[in-house]
Structure 1
Amino acid sequence: MRATLDTLAIAALFGIAQGALRFVDLAGVFALATPLSVAPWTVVTSVYAHGSVGHLLANGLALLLVGPLIERRTTRLRFHAFVVATGALAGIAQVTLGGLIGPPSAVLGLSGAVFALGGYLLAGNIVTATLFDRLRLPPRAQFALFGLVAVVLTATTAAPGVALIAHAVGAFCGLLAGRIGLLDAR
């Protein structure tokens, strides 16, 4: 549970920093927004920063549900790299694609990475692997199925202001990574 707690501690430190930066009107300095070239560090900082204490608590609770189960299968370094990589990809997808279908907005939070961890858990377990082996689905069919599952998982969190594209991309990345056992240290 150490990598999960590390991740929560980093997010809490970002929350404290955001609180302090609110006093000088710089609370949004960690947010990922378009164009990405303006503040490239936000690709990483946006994964750990959150819009509110409630947002951090919701993501933290979800992380506590899936994180420890993934930690058992991987190394601490792989866990952290996966959280940053999938969270960053989800955030980039949200600000890029979200700006195409609506007004541009900034993105914050661990939810893309948490959806990736959940997707990994769903696709990377022995039951799912056995099912896929028995079904003998071609790679394209598996890819399409993962896309559908990502959309269904994302629909469960649909609400105004929720980064649905980030959730879907995170879940999809996690499903793919779980299917190939990307994090498995065995």
Structure 2
Amino acid sequence: MIPIHDVNPLRRTPWVTYGLVAANVIVFLLMPAAAHSLVGQVSLGELCRLQAFVERWGAVPVELLHDQLPALVPTGQGAVGPRGVGCLLGPPAYQKSPPLSVLTSMFLHNSWSHLLGNMLFLAIFGNNIEDRLGRVRFLLFYLVCGYAAGYGFALTTPDSTDPLIGASGAIAGVLGAYLVIYPRARVWGLIPVLFFLPLRVPAWLMLGMWFVLQALYATGYGTAQAGAVAYAAHVFGFVLGALLGLTLRRQPRRLV
């Protein structure tokens, strides 16, 4: 089910949510090759620069757990050799802080669909959590959930050298909090059955089903693409967001 709108009025403009959406879009447009992926005209050089960019600014599980860079990383240059076309590797020419890479990875996306899907969920559900927590606490909540998702994923894949990117871990925390704070809020969504059928359902049903699917996918059930999507990061972010939401919903609403 694709959410399109929730029936949950706000008391104020969610400037932090809007700012996070804008920051993610701007960073994506500045990433090598990513902005051109919509038309599919991406050269080898652009792909290699994108790979090097993601390697530098993404969160790599091995680096997070061992706090050291690999001996070889993509240089951003393409090459044609006896084994075909690929990207050149070389010693890292930069210093990298693995803990800081979790923060930067939250603003990186590898395609328009990846970006727009995440921003849709953030825009629909983030505004009410910001309204409930206040702007400063919401931003801290968002970042904490993102860090929990990043390090949680690293613990489940300690030997992985594939960079983790995307805001979905932090957004999963927002969904977890929304589920426990506003379980009865009505959410309009589209169900792809032959064609897109609009339906209004309670938040607990939509977000609960979303979490169950993420948990199943994280174990490898129901998908052949489990290695391409960090479903475990979604699970960690969602669980922490729900736990924090349980404590925060008993507190009065904040205005700042």
Same topology, TM > 0.5: yes
2:53 aligned partner: 27
| Change beyond 3 A, Cα 1:69–1:151 | closer
- CA 1:46–1:125 in structure 2 vs 1: closer, same or farther (change >3 Å)? same
How many residues end up aligned between the 2 structures? 165
Other-structure match for 1:172: 239
TM (norm. structure 1) is: 0.75
Q: Hey, which of these two has a bigger chunk of strand by percent?
A: 2
| 2:121 counterpart of 1:121 | no
1:14 to 27, 31, 50: 27
Q: Which residue of 2 aligns with 1:73?
A: 132
**Could you tell me which amino acid in structure 1 is paired with residue 154 of structure 2?**
V
Larger radius of gyration: 2
Distance 1:51 1:62 in 2: 17
Question: Which one of the candidate residues 216, 225, 230 is aligned to 1:163?
Answer: 230
State the distance in 2 between where 1:153 and 1:178 align: 21
Quote the sequence identity (%): 28
Question: Pick from 8, 18, 29: which aligns with 1:5?
Answer: 18
Shift of 1:17: 2.9
Letter in 2 for 1:30: W
Match of 2:214 among 154, 157, 161: 154
Gap change, CA 1:27 and 1:184, over 3 Å in 2: farther
Deviation string 1:30-80 (CA, Å, 9 cap, x unpaired) is 210021224322110011111222211110011112111112112211111
Secondary structure, aligned partner of 1:19: coil
3-state SS of 1:35 partner: helix
Counterpart of 1:110 in structure 2 is 167
Higher helix share: 1
CA RMSD after TM alignment: 3.0
Q: Which one of 56, 60, 63 corresponds to residue 119 of structure 2?
A: 60
SS in 1 for 2:157: helix
Of stretches 55-64 and 14-23 in structure 1, the one that deviates more from structure 2 is 14-23
Q: Which amino acid aligns with 2:133?
A: T
CA distance in 2, matches of 1:126, 1:112: 20
The runs of 5 or more residues in structure 2 that have no matched partner are 1-13, 35-44, 69-95, 185-207
CA contact (8 A) 2:125 2:174 kept: yes
TM-score normalized by structure 2?
0.56
